[in-house]
A and B are shown apart, each in its own frame.
Chain A
């Protein structure tokens, strides 16, 4: 195992070299090339401009031929290499000089420092998104595989395909435009991941009086309890009808909350609300019904209780953060969970018809045990492959989301770096994302051995 690990790690080096080389040659070959143009103001007098360009060229070594620039950059980032003396000449060879990602031209700060600020933000987004993606995808994928060919399977397949095809930018723009603009519903903040006031707040929220908290909890509890009770009702059509009435009320309330009177909203929203909730109420599958209606009931209860709360409520840092992250996380998770649900479905289907599953059923095991103890475990392999690609792909996915919601994470940084032709930043981001991908592949290969003992690498 250890030799395998060593070999894989060593094989990473040429790939990483290749990645940076591809990106560096794109930069070097392009018209204009890497240069200090972006920092130099075009309004300057020619001699001033020349002096400044020369200064930057000298400082960052931009006046040297491209291969030399690349080699110097490589020497800087590799933990062993040549060290420079004060005059900039390469003198000694050192094994302990450490990595140095260089200094960004555009920001004029060390790249490590900038990355240190940006990575936690993107990581936070992804850590919140990944569990949501997996839970939703597994629930839907397993259900549609076990009920293959039924109405649920066909309709969920259509919905998943549609969700998968919705461009992230369209979803983001619509969410931002409708739910955080003053023209429609100003429920969520427009930009960033925390408001300026949140820096002075306490971590947890606090209220004017204890009774207000009680009201909130009471509202939530009553709402959830009512909704769950409704969702467990045996009579199907009555259940769907009552849920539909609730949806109608919610739709009317939403139309009423709209910033301006709009006939369209008054017509469409109640119908939409009624249709969605009646659909959830009509569903055969109990967990979905309970969770769907329960979430709806809890939200409705809280909103209802909020009407009776006095002033003196301070959101606190935590709630402020959550409030800012609702829309971006929603936007990131919808498309990805749809794609994953389809993969889970097809991988389960292959195993549900396998001989060992039939044997297990023939032994007299109930369907639940067959599904979760036998079939699901064997269907995990493709899921693991997805995990490997998930980390870098979410990094790329959050590029659009971060741009729309003005979150200063890695995605925004990547766009800024590329637009300002910042050699050091572009190379560092490339290198980092390539490294993450390769590490992801490696982790996936090890997870294979854990899940499936037949896979060995010795």
Chain B
């Protein structure tokens, strides 16, 4: 058997000296200081909510809205409930757009649960982008629905640790080199993407410099793989619209505007047949809102810039208000 070593006792002075010469200690101390400074500076300049807080708020919505805006990232970035409120006063509007969202029964159930059962004007506004009908995430036969999860799948001990340390993780959010330079030296960034998360579900976005064909390659790849499965997903949607209609829930649908190139791509490679979709939705009781497909500014060929998003929101709200007024007459 091996014998244990014995170490000589150190005096306090020698211990202190040894401690002060410890490179591990100094590295960890410097790293903590550096992290604290950078994140402190960044967090003091942050606009809007933290992304995780935004996700948590969205996941927590339940029976709390009169109007729910649904769709994929084009709705999430393209519709501001605050901008709609001016045309639809007194209504609680929430944006439940989710990036990469597809249609599936679970998602449609969740949307229904967002509406306040006591509301007299239960309304769903659907941004029917072709990618929504493509299947994939949340689609029939696709992956599990994506979206703000409350992390209930994780075991309890993991959830508890996550909850305790959520504020720490949020404060240590990632930064790009440009961001670090900006918060450190106040240097204005030449290239950046703006993302401001609002409590009503809107994500205010922009890109500098703009690249209006950036999203095209992603969509070419996606549509090459799976084109729009209008038939199956449209049926799922129209069946649900009929049910909503019978329960007094109004459904307005529109095609989120983007660039001319993207519209052409979606209609050809994507296989999206807008006329057929409109006919099916209106037959089921939905109301189609025509939107100028290229009349709003997109910064990346897919999503709308924040000012265009506000304009679209106001325009849509006005159309909804007129439709409601016409309906009540």
Q: Indicate, yes or no, whether A interacts with B.
A: no
